[in-house]
Amino acid sequence: MNMSPLVDDYLHAYENTSRFFNGDFRDLAAFQDQAEKIRSLDRDRGPLIAVLAQQNRDFGCGGQTLENIERLSRDRACAVVTGQQVGLFSGPLYTIYKSLTAIKLAEHLNQRLSGSFVPVFWLASDDHDFAEIDHIDLLDLDNQIEKVRYKSRTSRLKIPAAKRVFSSEIENCLERLSDLTRDSEFKAEILANLREAYRTGRSFADAFARWMARLFDSFGLILVDGSHPELKRLGKKIFALEIDGYSPSTVHALRTADELNQANYHQQVQLREGLLNLFFIEKERKALRWKGDEFFIKETGGTYSRSELLDLLDENPDMFSPNVLLRPIYQDYLFPTVAYVGGPGEIAYFAQMKKVYESYDVPMPIIYPRKTVTVIEKHVDAVLYRYGIKVQDVWQEAQNLVKEIAKKQIPASIDSVFRMAATHIRDDFQAIKQEIKTLEATLEGSADLAFGRVDRQLKILEDKVSRASQKRDQELSRQLHRAVNSLYPLGVLQERVFNIVPFLIKYGYPFIEGLYEILDMEDHNHQVIRL
């Protein structure tokens, strides 16, 4: 698997990257120090807890989630946070792996450190990249990769996911999902639960949260929709600092970018001076720029002085939304975050964030790598075993795999063997004819007839072998393509393409519990799970 030098060093040679982060994710003492620093902050958690309790009740959370919300107040618990865009039907599998990693890390810290820790999932509901959340991919009944896409006439508009409301098109998505998946003892229940969450008139964010609440009902995962107006009010100090200081986040991130380049790591977050890391929301999300002392909205041309924009923020904080760089600062200002669970891309951009956190006087969390996983089902594992293939072979040689295995399975020499046999038979019969002619010339015709019969039988046999070879080649190709489609769909890792629902239809909700039990938190390499 390809991995950037920065992420590779972070995972396997942390000392090379330590100056860009706030603690080694393998060091329990670093988590303890971070937790003590967080607990020492004198912040009123009451308003945050009230929002969390209301949101999670609305989402249909389980009792363990409400207990964990209470622990934030009662025990001054610290949070292990992760998050993701609100993709259709929970989006790619790595969303599930992120959640399970956060839950398992919180449990790990509870067992080994003093104090209390709870898992939190942040819904990136202000995000407007609709093309990333409007679909899922899955294998159909013929093991071909198919897409279930929610079609919208407003797909090109920069509307935050929290404000995108499902039309009746969502029913078509659910029906297509049903048609593409096999019947099972679990299918009716899974699709019924999915329909309860994904309904006409419900927003992408609300539906996603309700489905996640069902998936993690017994795990105590706290869900938070960051677009909530009260959360914006609680976090508006961060937005005000971004405006008042003419984007200090950009200044410090660019300085760190120079340091990364000097350390032979590439810049992670592309930034431009004169652009706030803050959006203005009317119907769409719009970029906020400044020139001199004036701020303006590029798409509409509206202009504000600094004081006017700050007044607008004070009156209507929900009209503002942080971008990818400022969102973690906003999130960790609201939450007592001890660790953030992120994928490889997130680890890379957090390398540019340490000085940004410091400039906003927010403690930077320890960045913990989410589990990265490939699931191998039994029928796929059987194909790998039969042909002596490793998962790594599929990742590295997916395009040439069928051709290479076919060469090993079907001898290329068959054609030459038949040609040699035909030549030998012809030559041998020619010699026989010569001997017959000297003995009895009238038998020469009989020799020709005998040769013709033998030659025809050889050609019939060759034709049968050829058809068998083609059939075997087709079956080999079919089986190997099935394995490739399952393990390396569209030329990327399985976790980046497939969705959890088809697995749940096959194996039921215990599938998630099984994943949780088998995830190895001591190994930060890619984990292969065989069912």
Contact status, residue 207 vs residue 127, Cβ threshold 8 Å:
no
* pLDDT classification of 462: cutoffs 50, 70, 90: low
Sign of CA dihedral 193, 195, 199, 205: positive
pLDDT of residue 466 exceeding 60, the answer is: no
Cα 196 vs. chain centroid, distance in angstroms? 24
User: What mean pLDDT, rounded, does the chain reach?
Assistant: 90
3-state secondary structure of 146: strand
DSSP 106-142: HHHHHHHSSS-EEEEEEE-TT---GGGTSEEEEE-TT
Res 35: pLDDT: 96
> What is the average per-residue pLDDT within 156-175?
95
Partner residues linked to 147 by β-bridges: 137
* Cα–Cα distance, 164 to 202 (Å, whole number): 8
* Cα–Cα distance, 168 to 420 (Å, whole number): 68
- CB-count exposure of residue 374 (10 Å: 0-12, 13-18, 19+): buried
* Cα–Cα distance, 349 to 326 (Å, whole number): 12
Query: Could you read off the pLDDT of 479-531 as tens digits, one per residue?
Result: 888 899 999 999 999 999 999 999 999 999 999 999 999 999 989 999 999 99
Res 457: pLDDT: 76
Query: Could you read off the pLDDT of 244-260 as tens digits, one per residue?
Result: 999 999 999 999 999 99
> What is the average per-residue pLDDT within 442-447?
71
* pLDDT classification of 454: cutoffs 50, 70, 90: confident
> What is the average per-residue pLDDT within 87-102?
98
For residue 141, give the amino acid letter.
Answer: L
Rounded to 5 degrees, what are φ and ψ at 342? Answer: -135, 160
DSSP 182-238: ---TTHHHHHHHHHHHS-TT-BHHHHHHHHHHHHTTTTTPEEEETT-HHHHHHTHHH
* Cα–Cα distance, 358 to 249 (Å, whole number): 10
Nearest to 160 by CA among 132, 135, 127, 131: 127
Contact status, residue 36 vs residue 78, Cβ threshold 8 Å:
no
Contact status, residue 276 vs residue 149, Cβ threshold 8 Å:
no
Nearest to 353 by CA among 365, 344, 341, 342: 365
Nearest to 78 by CA among 27, 52, 40: 40
Which token pair is 272?
A: 């431009």
* Cα–Cα distance, 471 to 466 (Å, whole number): 9
Cα 243 vs. chain centroid, distance in angstroms? 33
* Cα–Cα distance, 360 to 368 (Å, whole number): 22
Rounded to 5 degrees, what are φ and ψ at 191? Answer: -70, -35
Q: Which has the higher per-residue pLDDT, 162 or 268?
A: 162
Residues found in the chain: 531
* pLDDT classification of 446: cutoffs 50, 70, 90: confident
* Cα–Cα distance, 55 to 66 (Å, whole number): 10
Query: Could you read off the pLDDT of 12-63 as tens digits, one per residue?
Result: 999 999 999 999 999 999 999 999 999 999 889 999 999 999 999 999 999 9
Helices H / strands E in the chain, number of each: 22, 14
* pLDDT classification of 268: cutoffs 50, 70, 90: confident
The reported pTM is 0.88
